[in-house]
Structure 1
Amino acid sequence: MSRRIALSVVAGAVVLAGAGAFALAYAGDQAPALADSTARYTAPEGARDGSFSFSTEVTASSGVKSVKVLAWPEKSGLAAKQLTAEEMNEAESARCEAAGSGTVRCAYTAAVTVGDAASSPRGTWHVAVLATAEDGTTTLDTEAVDFTVG
């Protein structure tokens, strides 16, 4: 092999190694990603409470530290004022279980009493989700999924 070819091969290997290291470093800084979010609302019936349930999958290269969930009616003051991550930190936490490399499946369930249902606005509701990774990066999706209160 000529000296020029050998130098080209070495230079190419150095460039590829540097690009790989950059890709790994960049991947570590990725914000958590939400997928497969679903919500279900069941109205109370008779003496039996209803329920609200939400589930999602969250992936973060550094691991998932927490997932906060807040259901809010489309016809409310929150529609005009966007939720912030700071406000979402006060929301309820979802329960999460490992589902693979850097991925967790999270679920949140709340009972809906007759009184809750009577005082809740009818129509479209949104579910806001704040996912926080172990490295501190966050993802806030104020409309991760919708459901209807009839």
Structure 2
Amino acid sequence: MSRRIVLPVVAGAVVLAGAGAFALAYAGDQDPSPALAHSTARYTAPETGHKGSLSFTTEVSAPSGVKSLKVLAWPEKSGFAKESLTAKDLAAAEVDSATCTPAGGHTVRCVYTAPVSAADAASSAHGAWHIAVLATAKDGHTTFDTKAADFTLA
């Protein structure tokens, strides 16, 4: 074989081997914990004759898939502000779960909606509120965010 052909073939093989090693290294560096993206909360106050609502939406991605997303709304002026809420607290609490639907790949779109009555709104702390979430992947890895989204109860 000619020297002109061998050199480019060897150089190409080296480049391909390097790219393959990079791809394997990158795949090995993926965090197995769920990742949250595009989190939003929306509070609609109740009006005469109509209930209000609280809705929270987020996208969750995990290499092994998403098992669940627990959701807890909490007022900024509460005990959780002084004593931080923990993932263990949220895991043990009887809180609602979001409904998740596939959004492509290892990503799901999760939506949580709760009705808010006039009595609920009147008896709740007014001001800033936060949404805490605990995302659990199918392989057991978790991600906890105490302030995944915020809203104001006026």
After TM superposition, list the pairs within 5 Å mapping 1:18-57 onto structure 2. 18-27=21-30, 29-57=31-59
Paired residues, number: 149
| Cα offset, 1:25, TM superposition | 2.6
* Partner of residue 59, structure 1: 61
**Which secondary structure state, in structure 2, belongs to the residue aligned with residue 115 of structure 1?**
helix
* CA deviation profile, 1:35-78 (whole Å, cap 9, x unmatched): 11111111111132111111011111111111111110000000
Specify the code of the residue in structure 2 equivalent to 1:82. S
**Which secondary structure state, in structure 1, belongs to the residue aligned with residue 29 of structure 2?**
helix
CA RMSD of aligned residues (A): 2.2
User: What is the TM-score of this pair, normalised by structure 2?
Assistant: 0.83
* CA deviation profile, 1:18-42 (whole Å, cap 9, x unmatched): 5433322332x43111111111111
Specify the code of the residue in structure 2 equivalent to 1:23. Y
User: What is the TM-score of this pair, normalised by structure 1?
Assistant: 0.85
The whole-number CA distance in structure 2 between the counterparts of 1:147 and 1:13 is 50
1:142 maps to 2:146: yes
After TM superposition, list the pairs within 5 Å mapping 1:120-131 onto structure 2. 120-131=124-135
1:112 maps to 2:116: yes
| Cα offset, 1:125, TM superposition | 0.3
